[in-house]
Amino acid sequence: MLEDAGQRIEDVDAVFVTHEHSDHATGLKGLARHGHLKFFANEDTARPIQKQLSRRVNWKLFKTGQSFVFRDLKVSPFTIPHDTYDPVGYLFAWGEDDLFNPPRKLVWLTDLGYAPKFVQNKIQDVDYLVLEANHDIQMLEMDDRRPWSLKQRILGRHGHLSNKAALDLLESVENPRWRKVFLAHLSRDCNKVDIVRNTFQPLSEKQKCPIHVVDPHEAVAMEVEG
């Protein structure tokens, strides 16, 4: 996937881990072979992941809610409602008041059951936003592979944002400064790129902001028309 994006693992300095669920942690088994990588996480996230690994990786532990600097990034991990011990979203800020290196912000926000008010404030003035649009509620309800209890978990306050919830969140933000929004973490079984695209197309037009949908089968982002 890095190669497809024209990148090499040697050029990656660090990995920022949000929480220990397997869809976020499995990749560390392969990444652990690359000794130059640093892994940022809070302790409650790092501990269960390290137990699954055959070698010790270079953890850089932080406390949720406390900002730190890595290279030219100011990193602010913040708490989000999800069903692990200490799940986080990230705010990355870089640049300065300089024409050639202007200040920029990116928020990474996936795996949350709902968006608390402070999250709404946090994303208002970011340049780039990566937001979860996990499932189509109807497709999830119709799905016959997931037991009722799992559906309740996904739909619950510590589960995932549906397309509708993600749209509501974006629509609730006044005067957003977004240059680009990426909709990510789509369920392979309970969502479709086309559904997400159609859901967000009017918003993309209204706010004149390009919205990209990250296809979970391709791992590439496609722009919503308009």
Which residues lie near Zn ion (CB under 5 A)? 21, 23, 111
Q: Which is nearer to Zn ion, 38 or 158 (CB)?
A: 158
Residue closer to Zn ion, measured from CB, 107 or 209: 107
Length of the chain, in residues: 226
Q: Which residue in 213, 202, 26, 206 sits closest to 136, CA to CA? A: 213
- Residue closer to Zn ion by CB (options 48, 226) is 48
Is-contact 196 190, C-beta < 8 A? no
Minimum separation from the CB atom of position 201 to Zn ion (A):
25
CB of 186 to Zn ion, least distance (A): 11
User: What minimum distance in Å lies between the beta carbon of 112 and Zn ion?
Assistant: 9
CB closer to Zn ion, 116 vs 210: 116
How is residue 218 written in tokens?
């391709």
Distances (CA, A) of 20 to 44, 55, 153: 8, 17, 16
Q: Give the residue with the Cβ less far from Zn ion, 145 or 188.
A: 188
Which residues in 153-226 belong to E strands, given as ranges?
180-184, 211-215, 220-223
Q: Which two tokens stand for residue 100?
A: 């050639």
3-state class of 185 per DSSP? coil
Q: Which is nearer to Zn ion, 52 or 67 (CB)?
A: 52
Q: What's the min distance (Å) between Cβ of 199 and Zn ion?
A: 20
What number of other Cβ atoms are within 10 A of residue 39's Cβ?
A: 21
- Residues 6 or more apart from 56 whose CB is under 8 A from it? 50
Question: In the complex, which residue's CB is closest to Zn ion?
Answer: 21
Q: What angle do CA 108, 84, 132 make, to 5 degrees?
A: 30
CB 144 to Zn ion: min, Å = 22
Q: Least separation, in Å, of the C-beta of 132 and Zn ion?
A: 8
